Amino acid sequence: MHYPSLAFAPIFRHILAAGRIDPVTFRDIIVLTKTFHSSGDAIADRRAGYAKLLAEGGDFVAAADLISQALELTPEWVAGWDLLGGYHEKAGNLSGAISAWRHLEALDDDGTFGAKLKLAVHGAGAADAGTAISYVEALFDQYAPKFESALVDKLGYRVPALLDELLVQVMAETGVLHFTRALDLGCGTGLMGERLRNKVTVLEGIDLSAAMIAETGRKGLYDRLEKAELVQFLQRQPGEVDLVTAADVFIYCGALPPVLAAVVPVIRPGGFLTFSLEAHDGEEAVFLRPSLRYAHGIEAARQAATKAGLEILRFETAVLRQDRGAPIEGLLIVARKPEQAEGRDEHHPL
């Protein structure tokens, strides 16, 4: 099987620096980098290169035809099937895209290319419950070197600043001056950590991406960093955390109740949880967007937090970022785990 390297493509760095990607989106970035994954066959790679040029010119039908020719030479080229699906999708050939993604799903045992998510978006399959770990890990491993410039400068990403503003308000209202221990889930390159550092004695960062951990490690913001899947990490933690933050993290986790069920036990009574979600106004509790991120229903999110035993202190809507030239509306939530009732055993469930 011809499986791609997940190295960040040097040519993509050049393209981004030249400003040729506008607007930048997560899916655009991962598709661009995958374009340069070698099939192991020089002729197939040449055809893939021509296909990329055609796609850049908007001729997705011709691009799909060339990638199909490349796949005749290398039928187990995983990245090639992903490219073919993407070109078909952009050409409006949904049946062709679904066929390509089914081939991709069969070849990509780890789910690195997110075939199940792509099929689920178009009603052609069901996504697995929880985070698509391999896909998200690969996505952010590739994205890490230009994460901040792309997200903040090009997409107007505001979540850490907005969450911090609400947290400061709540701290003032509740008389909290400082936190002893905080967990920054999905810490990325430390954009949230930069705002937390002067509020916390011990600040820990957790991320699924080793590349993100490496990037933020250079800043010296965190007292401890760990590469880990969120739920698995939380299940190992004692309930001794004063603050948990999750800026643009739960949008990759699917349903909110299982995530909160893992988060709440690690928070000490009286501690805080602050997080963001992408929002929608429909009746569904959660649905998968074409961006391969999950959007949560506003009332469903409120109910999930309450049922998890949290006291909601802030629950606000805001524009989180731009994506494909459009504003992404979301939720900003600050909640508190209630203090234990007098005389209750501290390990007794709330």
Task: Give the C-alpha separation, 251 to 224, whole Å.
Answer: 24
What's the pTM value of the predicted model, to 2 decimals? 0.83
Task: Give the C-alpha separation, 134 to 108, whole Å.
Answer: 10
The CATH architecture one would assign to domain 10-128 is Alpha Horseshoe (1.25)
Residue 32 has pLDDT above 60, yes or no: no
What interhelical angle do 256-263 and 298-307 show, nearest 10?
A: 30
* Cβ neighbours of 258 (radius 10 Å): 14
Domain ranges of the chain: 10-128, 153-336
Q: How many residues are listed for the chain in this entry?
A: 350
Residue appearing with tokens 């961006």: 291
Which residues neighbour 184 within 8 Å (Cβ) at sequence distance 6 or greater?
192, 193, 196, 203, 204, 205, 206, 222, 245, 246, 247
Residue 12 has pLDDT above 90, yes or no: no
* DSSP conformational letter for 149: I
pLDDT classification of 230: cutoffs 50, 70, 90: very high
Task: Give the C-alpha separation, 269 to 127, whole Å.
Answer: 35
The CATH architecture one would assign to domain 153-336 is 3-Layer(aba) Sandwich (3.40)
Candidate from 21-25, 269-273, 278-282 with smallest mean pLDDT: 21-25
Task: Give the C-alpha separation, 278 to 73, whole Å.
Answer: 42
Task: Give the C-alpha separation, 247 to 277, whole Å.
Answer: 8
pLDDT classification of 144: cutoffs 50, 70, 90: confident
Tell me which of 85 and 33 has the higher pLDDT.
85
When the pLDDT of each residue in the chain is averaged and rounded to a whole number, the result is 86
Question: Chain-centre distance of CA 87, in angstroms?
Answer: 23
